[in-house]
Amino acid sequence: MINTVIFDMDGLLVDSEPLWGIAMREVFSTVGVSLSPELTHLTTGLRTKEVVSYWHNHFKWNSKSAEQVTTEIVSSVTHKILHEGQGMEGLHYILDFFHSRGFNIGLASSSPMSLIQAVLKHLDIRSAFQAVVSAEYEPYGKPHPAVYLACAGELNASPLDCLAFEDSVTGMIAAKAARMKVVVVPEAHKRTEPKFVLADMKLDSLLQFGDEQLELLRR
């Protein structure tokens, strides 16, 4: 019986993916790397250090360390979210929906914990979660299931009783690998991605989820 829900954060609860793209392009430009929006989408859902490592292996700059670039990106995107970041459509609705039905509620994000806490404070939703887990502290990031399994563990829930909400293919694969049911709510320009067929349900907005959808997933 599904009694636990675990949410991704970036692009699902907070409209931060465009801000991540801007921050990455700005910081990468300081090492002579030009990333188009299409290229930045290739690494959506990965941990920041993995994104930087991916592009460092490709472009091989030497003017700054990968660690410095990672730190600058996280600092930049944190600043942008705190000044421009908005909750996604249906944010408070979906948290209230599961809270009112007695669900355990967790968050499992690829972002560093410092950014997660800043976003939760900015949106004033920290109290909605009984567990908040960052892949920063896991040996492997998404698409490995480690962060989802860790979050389920903190909630004392079996992964088989968990429902995950994701917006990216990388995150969807992580949650499916953890043996959870998965609802994907992709950005508009990603909704035709064929790989989302692996999800148990695909929605255009968090507002589209209700009791009918929950019962379908519980069958």
Amino acid of residue 212: E
Tell me, yes or no, whether 92 and 196 share the same domain: yes
User: With left for phi above 0 and alpha for psi between -120 and 50, is residue 124 left, alpha or beta?
Assistant: left
Q: Is 184 helix (H, G, I), strand (E, B) or coil?
A: strand
Do 42 and 79 share a domain, yes or no?
A: yes
Q: Are residues 75 and 143 in the same domain?
A: no
Task: Mark whether 10 is an active-site residue.
Answer: yes
The pair of structure tokens assigned to 36 is 């188009």
Looking at the fold, whether 212 and 104 belong to one and the same domain comes out as: yes
Which residue is it, tokens 């148990």? 200
Write down the catalytic residue from 8, 161, 167, 200. Answer: 8
Nearest one of 29, 30, 31, 55 to 41, comparing CA atoms:
55
Could you list the beta-strand ranges (E) of 71-167.
104-109, 131-134, 162-166
Query: Which neighbouring-strand residues pair with 108?
Result: 133
CATH number, domain at 95? 3.40.50.1000
> Hunting for tokens 């255009």 — which residue is that?
204
CA angle 46, 158, 209 (to 5 degrees): 65
Q: Give the integer Cα–Cα distance in Å for 143 and 200.
A: 17
The number of domains in the chain is 2
If asked whether residues 101 and 203 sit together in one domain, one would say yes
Same domain, 44 and 143: no
pLDDT tens track, the chain, 219 positions = 999 999 999 999 999 989 999 999 999 999 999 988 888 878 887 889 999 999 999 899 999 999 999 999 999 999 999 999 999 999 999 999 999 999 999 999 999 999 999 999 999 999 999 999 999 999 999 999 999 999 999 999 999 999 999 999 999 999 999 999 999 999 988 899 999 999 999 999 999 999 999 999 999
Q: Which domain holds residue 180?
A: 4-15+86-218
Residues 113 and 196 in one domain: yes
Pair (80, 134) in one structural domain: no
Indicate if 101 and 141 belong to the same structural domain.
Answer: yes
